Amino acid sequence: MNDSKLLAGKLALVTGASRGIGAATAEALAAAGAHVILVARTASALEEVEERIHAARGMATIAPLDLTDGESIGKLAGAVAERWQKLDLLVLNAAMLGSLTPVPDIDPKEYSRLLSLNLLANQALIAAFDHLMKKAETADIVALTSSVGSEPRAFWGAYGSSKAAVETLLGAYADETAYTGRIRVHIVDPGATRTRMRALAFPGEEPESVKPPEVVASAIVERLTADAPTGEKVRIEA
């Protein structure tokens, strides 16, 4: 096996894989030899990522679904179990920004949707795939977070609170599984990155002034193929 195929034989699942950091990470994992399951709501966008992976001689399978639908997550886990019997890598990337607004003005319905995707779906994914990761020789979970999850900022209360909860959730799972020595949890703050979410949050920012998603994807793959500890939070700089 050469250095570029360090993940050969591994099965990875990436949420929010239709664009941005999710798509870039999926392509990087495939380039490293993993078979990647691409998850997002829009089938056409997933097909574009799949085509790029196949064109680069990688392996990918699309799984269009709404992650806020708990039944869909369970059905996906069942399909993965039937076809592959295990899961080696789970990348929890899908998220929504929501409105940047003062805490008293947070819309309850939007906040509920945000928490459903940013937090509850991630717990549901861990619950659904836990037994498949434990069947792997070793397994890794990568959860994308944000600096506002640990450093509260005005108007970012809704999004920031969802990321703070994700960090706590994943930290607890890391502690619960550390004894096995076979499951690692990585909490990754990508920092300022050229994504659609970033453009929505900072509409006046020059996109070229921040790093592209490929930098984050490369750092994630590097961490997955290194001797990194479980439960650690890391920030990726330019």
Q: Are 188 and 236 in contact (CB under 8 A)?
A: yes
The confidence band for 70, taking pLDDT boundaries of 50, 70 and 90, is confident
**Hey, what domains does the chain have and what are their CATH numbers?**
3-235 (3.40.50.720)
In this prediction, residue 4 carries a pLDDT of 65
pLDDT of residue 204 exceeding 70: yes
The confidence band for 2, taking pLDDT boundaries of 50, 70 and 90, is very low
Give the phi and the psi of residue 87 in degrees, each rounded to 5. Answer: -140, 130
The answer to whether residue 179 is catalytic is no
Give this prediction's pTM: 0.96
pLDDT of residue 39 exceeding 60: yes
What does 96-161 look like in DSSP terms, one character per residue?
-------GGG--HHHHHHHHIIIIIHHHHHHHHHHHHHHHSSSEEEEEE--GGGTS--TT-HHHHH
- Residue in 111, 159, 173, 179 annotated catalytic: 159
**3-state class percentages of the chain: helix first, strand second, coil last, to nearest 5:** 50, 15, 30
Task: Give the Cα separation of 212 and 12 in Å (integer).
Answer: 22
Interval 152-180: pLDDT, tens? 999 999 999 999 999 999 999 999 999 99
Task: Give the Cα separation of 110 and 116 in Å (integer).
Answer: 10
The mean pLDDT value of the chain amounts to 96
